[in-house]
A = this chain, B = another copy of it.
Amino acid sequence: MNSSNTIIGKSLKRVDARGKTTGDTLFLTDLKVENMLHAAPVYSATPYGELLNIDTSRVESDPDFIAFFSANDIPGENQVGVIIEDQPLMADKVVRYIGDSVGILVAATNASAQRLSKLVDVQVQPFQPILSINDSRDAIQNFLHESNLACQHQVKRGDIEAAFESADHVIEAHFETPFQEHYYLEPQGCIAQLTAEGGIYIIGSIQCPFYVQKAVAKALDLPFSKIKVEQAPTGGAFGGKEDVPSEVCTRAALAALLLKQPVKMVYSRRDDVQLTSKRHPFQMHYKVGVSKEGKLLAAEIKLEENAGAYATLSSVVSYRSAMQAMGPYVIENISVESKSYYTNLPPTGAFRGFGSPQAAFGHERMMDIIATELGMDPTALRLQNILKVDSHTLTGQHLTSSVGAEETLRTAMEAAQWNDQDISEDSRWKTGYGVSLIHYGNCLGAAGWFMDGSGVKIKVHRDGSISVAFGLIEMGQGALTVVNQMAAEALGVESSRITILPTDTEQVPDSGPSVASRNVVMTGNAIRNAANKLSPILKEAAAELMQVDLREVNIENGLVSNIRNDEQMSFTELANYLYLSNRPMDVMGWWHVPELEYDAVNGIGEAYFTYSYATHIAKVKVDTLTGLVNVEKIWASHDVGRAINPSGLEAQIEGGTAQGIGWALTENFKMNLGEVLTDNLTTYLLPTAMDVGEIESIIVEDPEPEGPWGAKGIGEPAIIPTAAAIANAVSQALGKPMDQIPISPETVLEMIEN
């Protein structure tokens, strides 16, 4: 491929823009199926207790009432826990949070289903609920499950005792981060239908169709081959549609199976907020030893996570936060313990970053506290300890390439004029700059290696158009567009030839979950694998047609040429000849992450096969009169290895940063004894364009040899550093440590007053 003609690095318009702009794209709410019934969840209104009885007598005489199904109706296993088997599909003995589903109510209309589901009397003998990490950790009885510890991971490396002794300074701090609600614009939903031969077909707003397939198989006791799960166009997910759709779809599938009629279930916003997963609140204790010159010598880190009622993805959050707990810095003596505790609150689970934004808040606030203590510039402290090629990470992983941490820091500093900060004096408005630096392990890592493979199917049509099916999904992040570009590049054709197909479990290999910023890396490499199979077929056919040796054939940008003479033909002609010569035109591609050497007991070794790096610098103005924090600008510099689609990448950075701003400042998730109070946009304040301010995206390209065209993931790195950068900026502005978020006006005023 001639690099001058490459489509990699060009800002392609989103390929799904048209339908989403015109409204032609149909989301789940728009979809209807003949004879469709409607369902709504029936759940506990008590945070913790024994389920005594479910009384449906008040709804059964309603003309719109069709059926109610509970745990007793499940033909297979009543179990939907994605990693740990701790979560019933429908609670049958104990309810563990307000929202714990005990059944599904089916009615003739959606309105009736919503109305009647609230009239079912779920009778519970209440227990004393456990609502905080501390209460959960310290409990000695009435455990939510076998114990209250949902899961844990650790890193134990070096000799921290000796290292602390040798340190000039030992500094401790405590940090807290709150819940965050995904607040995807489209709530959870699906339609489940029976197939003629007793199978199930589900279409839904789903991040991980293969998870849904597994959940349905288990609960309905059906073989995987009888279950087709298709992703409908999805209006946002952010991790919130990783495992939750397994519950939603399996319940709807159960109803469809028993009623032999299609069943649609779309959660109301209220139910969606109350029932589904959130970002884990963390409380973190950092103890770090440094030399007087600012070299990190030892760290003892305790991360504690509020897992809510069921573990869901807590294990991944716990693992990832442990692996990244001290950030992109060299430190040889370290102890990290990361523990998730059950509470009687909605389950916390997958959310953009999987514990990384929380850990980043810890290590980046800590770095600023250390810098303050040592009287150093925060960037100087970071530069002194920063990971480089040939460094070892905190887990002892030897980094051999694509370590752009320093480059992101230097480019962000330069763009923000860090060394010439614009801090105007004003008695009311205080200006502050904050920096935050992170590394992010790409894909699932050592703990999830066994499922870290992905596939594609590429079909060349005889008119030279090409269909690509990939095993991951589009959820708003721009996946379809980068997949298009990567396929065009790998096959040597124009992107206009390529159509990306909707993802369904029949079409493509089980490619694992669409999480962990996996898409570019996994799908890109799978595309290259498929292209490696197709290329010899294409070249052999071209050589046959042009009567040259196949090594003399070049296919580029939709033109087929040979180096022997100036003869050219279009890819269309070649495709037609492929067809006429009876050659295979459909290939599968597959790629899995390289095997990782990792010691799970001590958390030492190759935690991830590569890392993305980022620096965010935030400039804030704090209104000391109202306590309001105004983010004037964020400089977001990201080492992505290689930018596939720069404008899509910038959109990801801007979106992630905005979501980070929301978590840091405006989104204040409130519950009362497990009942969510902030269940709408009037009370749960997503940041608007007015709140976000200016974001300057800076793309650093330090190619990763194992990444496709050098690329690494960006979906999550975009949010991870933001909150810490803002907190550091507020701390600088106020001259006081801001060690928790959200930084609400009340918090700021309180801090100013103290």
Judged by a CB distance under 8 angstroms, whether A450 is at the interface is: yes
Q: Mark A25-60, 1 if CB is under 8 A from B, else 0.
A: 110000111100000000000000000000000000
Taking a contact as CB atoms closer than 8 A, the residue among B32, B194, B509, B593 that contacts A586 in the complex is B509
Whether a CB of chain B sits under 8 angstroms from the CB of A199 is yes
Report Cα–Cα, A25/B194, bound state, in Å: 10
**B contact residues around A33 at 8 Å (CB):** 34
- Among B24, B224, B581, B590, contact of A194 (Cβ-Cβ < 8 Å): B24
Q: Contacts A25-B196, A34-B31; is A465 near B586 (CB within 8 Å)?
A: no
Name the one of B20, B198, B452, B461 contacting A582, with C-beta atoms under 8 angstroms.
Answer: B452
User: Of B225, B509, B584, which is within 8 A of A590 by CB?
Assistant: B584
Tell me if A18 is interfacial: C-beta within 8 Å of chain B: yes
Interface size on A, residues (CB 8 A): 63
Residue contact B31 to A459, C-beta cutoff 8 Å: no
A196 and B19 contact, Cβ closer than 8 Å, known pairs A225-B461, A510-B579: yes
- Contact partners of A469 in chain B: CB under 8 A: 506
Interface-centre pick from A451, A498, A579, A582 (highest chain B CB count, 10 A): A582
CB-CB under 8 A from A587, the residues of chain B are: 588
Residues B506 and A459 in contact, CB atoms below 8 Å apart = yes
Q: Which of chain A's residues 158-178 have a Cβ closer than 8 Å to chain B?
A: none
Q: Give the contacting residue for A18; candidates B197, B508, B593; CB below 8 A.
A: B197
Q: List B contacts of A466 (CB < 8 A).
A: 225
Q: Which residues of B contact A410 (CB under 8 A)?
A: none
Whether B510 pairs with A506 at a CB distance below 8 angstroms is no
Which of B217, B233, B499, B593 contacts A199 (CB under 8 A)? B499
Interfacial chain B residues near A226, Cβ < 8 Å: 465, 499
For A140, the chain B residues whose CB sits under 8 A away are: none
A224–B463 touching, CB < 8 Å: yes
Name A25's closest neighbour in chain B (CB-CB): B196
Smallest beta-carbon distance A359→chain B, Å: 27
Cβ-defined contact, A225 with B579, below 8 A:
no
CA of A750 to CA of B98, assembled, Å? 88
Chain B residues near A26 (CB-CB < 8 A): 196
Which of B20, B450, B455, B581 is within 8 Å of A584, CB to CB? B455
A501 within 8 A of B: yes
Expressed in whole angstroms, the Cα–Cα distance for A51 and B716 within the complex equals 64
Question: What is the minimal beta-carbon distance from A85 to any residue of chain B, in angstroms?
Answer: 16
Which of A450-495 touch B at CB < 8 Å? 450-453, 455, 457, 459, 461-463, 465-467, 469
- Report the separation of the CA atoms of residues A233 and B195 in the bound assembly, to the nearest whole angstrom: 12
With a cutoff of 8 Å between Cβ atoms, the chain B residues found around residue A497 in the complex are 223, 225
Q: When chains A and B are docked, how far (Å) is the Cα of A26 from the Cα of B35?
A: 13
Given A451-B582, A506-B459, A588-B587: A16 and B501 interface contact (C-beta under 8 Å):
no
- For A225, list chain B residues within 8 Å (CB): 459, 461, 465-467, 497-499
What are the residues of chain B within 8 A of A185 when measuring CB–CB?
none
Query: What are 11 of the A-B contact pairs (CB < 8 Å)?
Result: A18-B197, A196-B233, A223-B497, A224-B463, A224-B465, A225-B497, A225-B499, A226-B499, A451-B582, A453-B584, A455-B584
Additional A-B contacts beyond A223-B499, A506-B507 (13; CB < 8 A): A18-B196, A24-B194, A24-B196, A24-B197, A32-B34, A223-B463, A225-B497, A450-B580, A455-B586, A507-B507, A509-B585, A584-B590, A588-B588
